[in-house]
Structure 1
Amino acid sequence: MARHCIREARYIPPVQNIGEQPDLFGGPTLCHVAERKGPPKGWQRQLQKWGRCTVMADLETGEFPMNEPAPAPQPVYLVACVAAKLDHPAPARDLYISTWFQKARAYVERQGAPWFILSAKHGLIAPHEVIAPYDETLGRMKVGARRLWGARVFEAMAEQIDPAAPLIVLAGRKYRDPLWPSIKRRASVPMEGLAIGQQLAWLSKN
């Protein structure tokens, strides 16, 4: 079905073929229009009704349906790092070798959604990033250092994660708290309050 984006209340004359045509608003544009003798019936009235906005017009029928809403962004999973690691550099998803992390990784990969690791040393890291083993944990950081870590992670999130994406956090309080004031409106913690054994069971069955 041929559609054309009308950016203001002005009728663009039809053309016989599809190709690059002069754009009335500056620069060339690709026109995909159907041949007709005049403007679609009622086009001015519809544009006056909606005002100066983007309207998708069906040039085959002359109808002006409302734009379809954009799909909701996928949730993004945030997984805490752990102490148990390989003894050599590896992609972050492989570096952490505790049972909890392996189950958390398997869980988020089953969801088919993007995910990141909250690293005490590196901040926000993608699963494919190759990093060396390290011996740092938020549990040994002072409160001020944890706040700085949270600010650094949130800055990285702003660059790499859709600000409208829901966040699902698989991490303990020490990793959540420095971030929580900035993400609480769109974040959830599905395993909050569960002991480690309960978390392992939850990750296995979901």
Structure 2
Amino acid sequence: MAPLCIIPCGKKKIWDLDPEAGAVYAKDAYQGTLHRKCRTYAEANGCDWTILSARHGFLLPYDIVPENYDTGFHFPKDEIIADETLTQQWQEKNLYAADTLVLLAGKKHETVLKRVLAQPEQYRWQKPLQGCRGIGEMLQRLDLLS
């Protein structure tokens, strides 16, 4: 199986551009620069990818995002997706089949992943954005890597 990139969703969404958009595929929902550059990196490097959303969990490109939202992993625990649901999605969507996880997000996402994966040590981890001190550096690094 191809490496699996874990990419962040981001605050800017299709509904910010078109409030009447209705339900859309996950691949079309997220419009932020970091999200788009992470997708470009994943696709340019032959990786499968999933979006990790604090509201909807692991989203594959053709999963449906029903409406706009603003939720992050820094929100109170009762306002974000439950760890148990994330673990269940990881299994149901066969994401566990990857042997390499490419984390294209920050420490919050890594903390969530290591908490919900049954055996995080079974994966080979790549962190191309490790050491970046903010979104500006992340965007610059993605430009260099893609």
Query: Normalising by structure 1, what TM-score?
Result: 0.57
1:91-170 alignment to 2 at 5 Å? 91-131=25-65, 132-142=67-77, 149-159=82-92, 160-163=94-97, 165-170=99-104
Q: SS where residue 151 of structure 1 aligns? A: helix
Q: Runs of 5+ in structure 2 lacking a partner?
A: 16-20
CA distance in 2, matches of 1:140, 1:103: 25
Return the alpha-carbon distance in structure 1 between the equivalents of residues 47 and 10 of structure 2.
21
Secondary structure, counterpart of 1:176 in structure 2: helix
CA offsets 1:166-194 (integer angstroms, 9 cap, x no match): 11111222222122143531133221220
Match of 1:69 in 2: none
Query: TM-score w.r.t. structure 2 length?
Result: 0.78
Amino acid at match of 1:191: L
1:192 aligns with 2:125: no
Structure 1 or 2: more helix by fraction:
2
Equivalences, count = 132
Does residue 202 of structure 1 match 2:138? Answer: no
Give the C-alpha shift of residue 202 in structure 1.
Answer: 1.4
Q: Which runs of 4+ in 1 moved over 4 A?
A: none
Structure 2: how far apart are the matches of 1:137 and 1:204?
A: 25
Q: Give the secondary structure class of the aligned counterpart of 2:58.
A: strand
Deviation at residue 79 of structure 1 after TM alignment: 0.6
1:149 shift after superposition: 2.8
Deviations 1:125-159 (A, max 9, x none): 101223122122211123x776x633322221123
Letter in 2 for 1:189: K
Identity in percent: 28
Q: CA RMSD in A?
A: 2.1
Residue 80 (structure 1) aligns with: 8
Change (3 A) 1:141 1:152: same
Residues 110 and 200 of structure 1: is their aligned pair in 2 closer, same or farther, counting only changes over 3 Å? Answer: same
